[in-house]
């Protein structure tokens, strides 16, 4: 709530063509679905199911392919970051292990993990829009913004500044080798109507002189 009695438009609604689900959160949602469907009767059995699901997701991420999550959602992992996916899985698995130590009774522990995991996924998904609301006022009219690589949080800030707050600015994007992440996000900015220039990583020193915000 922005204090005006209404909810501020989200970057996701302003640019609905973009996926708004961070990959680690998608991983947590998939693992929550595994817990709901698991027939395990012990924590050891449940942890084995979760580890197996995490291994399948990581394998799919390397080869590319869809993964089914709770609520009928499907996440396409082709060309997505293995590091982000692996981190999300490991964080959740460690949490499950800790919860089993704090709450030895299986049924109670399982319910607790589901409740807290769902809450974590909800908060994490909403965090990007909150950051965008806080960060977008720093993007002023006429500014030149330099970005490197690809960050969905940075994208949310810039898209909100352009589409919701109607700021006029220009973005210079470093290509971001070896995966050309910068070039990929430049397409997103251009589609949103933001004047965007892609330059080689080695040209950073040359363009930095004319930049207002990094």
pTM for the model stands at 0.61
**pLDDT score at 66:** 55
**pLDDT score at 9:** 44
3-state SS class at 71: helix
**pLDDT score at 11:** 47
**pLDDT score at 129:** 85
- Residues whose CB is less than 8 angstroms from the CB of residue 128 and which lie 6 or more positions away in sequence, other chains included: 11, 20, 22, 152, 153, 156
**pLDDT score at 8:** 40
From CA 83, how far away is CA 80, in angstroms rounded? Answer: 9
Per-residue model confidence as pLDDT tens for the chain (214 residues): 334 433 344 444 444 444 457 778 888 889 999 999 999 989 899 999 999 999 988 887 776 555 555 555 555 554 455 777 888 888 888 888 888 888 889 999 889 888 888 888 888 778 888 899 999 999 999 999 999 878 888 999 999 999 999 999 999 998 877 777 788 888 899 999 999 999 888 888 888 888 898 8
Q: Count other Cβ atoms within 10 Å, centred on residue 211.
A: 15
């Amino acid at each position: 709530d922005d204090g005006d009695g209404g909810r501020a438009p989200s970057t996701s609604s302003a640019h609905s063509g973009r996926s708004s689900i961070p990959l680690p959160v998608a991983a947590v949602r998939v693992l929550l679905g595994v817990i709901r469907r698991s027939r395990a009767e012990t924590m050891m059995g449940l942890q084995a199911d979760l580890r197996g699901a995490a291994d399948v997701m990581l394998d799919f991420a390397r080869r590319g392919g869809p993964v089914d999550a709770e609520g009928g959602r499907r996440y396409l992992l082709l060309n997505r970051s293995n590091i982000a996916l692996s981190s999300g899985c490991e964080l959740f698995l460690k949490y499950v292990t800790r919860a089993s130590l704090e709450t030895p009774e299986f049924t109670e522990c399982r319910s607790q993990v589901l409740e807290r995991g769902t809450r974590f996924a909800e908060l994490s998904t909403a965090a990007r829009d909150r950051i965008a609301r806080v960060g977008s006022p720093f993007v002023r009219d006429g500014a030149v913004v330099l970005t490197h690589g690809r960050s969905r949080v940075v994208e949310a800030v810039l898209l909100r500044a352009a589409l919701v707050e109607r700021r006029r600015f220009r973005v210079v994007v470093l290509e971001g080798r070896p995966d050309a992440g910068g070039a990929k996000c430049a397409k997103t900015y251009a589609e949103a109507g933001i004047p965007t220039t892609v330059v080689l990583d080695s040209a950073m020193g040359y363009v930095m002189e004319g930049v207002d915000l990094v």
